[in-house]
Amino acid sequence: MTIRTRVAPSPTGDPHLGTAYIALFNYAFAKQQGGEFVLRIEDTDQVRSTPESEQAIMDSLRWLGLNWDHGPDVGGEFGPYRQSERIDLYKKYAQKLVDDDKAFYCFATSEELEQMREAQMTEGLRPKYDGRGLKLSKNEIEANLAAGKPYVIRMNIPEEGTFKFNDYLRGEIEIPWENVDMQVLLKADGFPTYFLANVVDDHHMEISHIFRGEEWINSAPKLLKLYEDFGWSAPTLGHLPLLRNPDKSKLSKRKNPTSINYYKEMGFLPEAVLNYLGRMGWSMPDEREKFTLAEMIENFDMKRVSLGGPVFDVEKLSWLNGLWIRENLTDEALISRFVDWKFNSETLAKILPQVKTRINTLSDLVELAGYFVSGMPTYEPDLLTAGKAEEDVIRQALQFFIWDLEALRTWQKSEIFAIAKKLADHHELKIKVFLEPIFVAISGKTSSTSVIDAMEILGSDMSRARLRVALGHISVSKKQAKKLEKAYKVYLAN
């Protein structure tokens, strides 16, 4: 049997460090045994999935040096490799489960299901689907289908007993069926959920081992039961520990930059980032901290992964990156890296139109445009609140701006400005006043070249990272954070 692993990201946002971490360990496991690595795109969320996000994911994984043997851009014998191109296959298998009494139609509306959950919580019960679809007679089901009533297909889950499976990293795990919901497999729009699509795809793509994050442990019974229901042999399943912030909380963009592109734009070497990710819960037999991907593969043993939450510390990564620069790059190679990173004609072509009318000597460029090629700008935090708006208003406007930008599907200045204008109006601020703290957050100055143009040039990852740093300077208490979340929901509702 060919050892074959995969990574299956959803193209719904920035390429995440967690995706690279999972991809690396699946890649190293397969390659250490002469196997193959598959990239599959889970784009069944048609509202949030974008081609730009898909491309960013592929670019970032390739930047790190994680190349796939099968995927949407390289092809392969198991294609297509985008789930949106395999919809008919999922429908066929969902119907097969219904025909075999392994799944059932549910015609309940979202309002009915919400009432069900509220009633359960009132009774002190854990919200869970109550199996109402199983109580419909054959005649009722046929009448609903004939009437064109919307439905989902749910999997049939036992009400009693437990499910046991052997985790590659954790040994035997036992989960009571009462804790497992009757999962929706096919949504009302005809698109599959994660569970159905992954089982069908992993079977057809002959995936031998699946290593994923530990947050998915409780869903393992549903996943593995689907293999039983289809009569298929299940791949070996293992759950890797989650990446953590230095305070041991789950890695999140509020406490650590989580986008791979951020580290690329900051000037980290891909070798160093990959090296550091490789140290997340695993180590070389000789305990050395700096190693190449090839060295990791040669010495890799998944059984040696520590299950304690590995801490992703940017300062430690910076130290390791410096080690790579000093010990592995000649002066000529370092010059080449600088050019590839920022000091190239393509980058300058974006920056020069912003500053050309303001420079009298070439040296003026450094002062005017230095923030385009720097990391986090340094400034006195008081500058953020030195404008005409009150601090509480700035805090809320800045937080709303970050949240709106996180939901932005395409990073274009017209859309960035539209968000800024809408928020300025909402907070009854002139657009110039609204942008005052944004200028500081992005450039480190109270004024600069067009800040909206600058944000487009800097890109989504760096822009949002600088805005989050600025919000941190203003500081948001837990009480304020809850208040902001409530206010933002009201803002969205209007």
Q: How far apart are CA 295 and CA 446, in angstroms?
A: 48
Show Cβ contacts of residue 260 under 8 Å, excluding neighbours closer than 6 positions.
14, 15, 16, 17, 19, 20, 60, 61, 63, 64, 273
* Residue 267 φ/ψ region, left for φ over 0, alpha for ψ in the -120 to 50 degree band, beta for the rest: left
Q: How far apart are CA 494 and CA 492, in angstroms?
A: 5
Query: Do 104 and 132 touch, CB atoms closer than 8 A?
Result: no
Half-sphere exposure of 205 (CA within 13 A, CB side): 31
Q: How far apart are CA 107 and CA 112, in angstroms?
A: 10
The 3-state secondary structure of 256-277 reads: CCCEHHHHHHHCCCHHHHHHHH
Burial class of residue 445, CB neighbours in 10 A (0-12, 13-18, 19+): middle
Pairing mode, if any, of strands 36-39 and 4-7?
Answer: parallel
Per DSSP, the three-state class of 2 is: coil
Q: How far apart are CA 344 and CA 338, in angstroms?
A: 8
Residue positions counted in the chain: 494
The first and second tokens of residue 78, run together, are 């198991």
Helix (H) or strand (E) holding 185: strand 184-186
The first and second tokens of residue 173, run together, are 């795990």
Q: How far apart are CA 424 and CA 434, in angstroms?
A: 6
Show Cβ contacts of residue 315 under 8 Å, excluding neighbours closer than 6 positions.
none
Q: Which residue is it, tokens 């890695």? A: 251
Half-sphere exposure of 20 (CA within 13 A, CB side): 31
Alpha carbon 228 to its chain centroid, in Å, reads: 30
264 is an active site residue: no
Torsion of CA 446, 451, 457, 462, to 10 degrees: 60
Query: Do 434 and 427 touch, CB atoms closer than 8 A?
Result: yes
Query: Do 265 and 462 touch, CB atoms closer than 8 A?
Result: yes
* Degrees to nearest 5, angle at CA 65 with 79 and 80: 5
- Cβ count near 189 (within 10 Å): 11
Q: Which of 31, 222, 225, 253 is catalytic?
A: 253
Q: How far apart are CA 97 and CA 458, in angstroms?
A: 49
Which residues are part of the catalytic machinery? 253
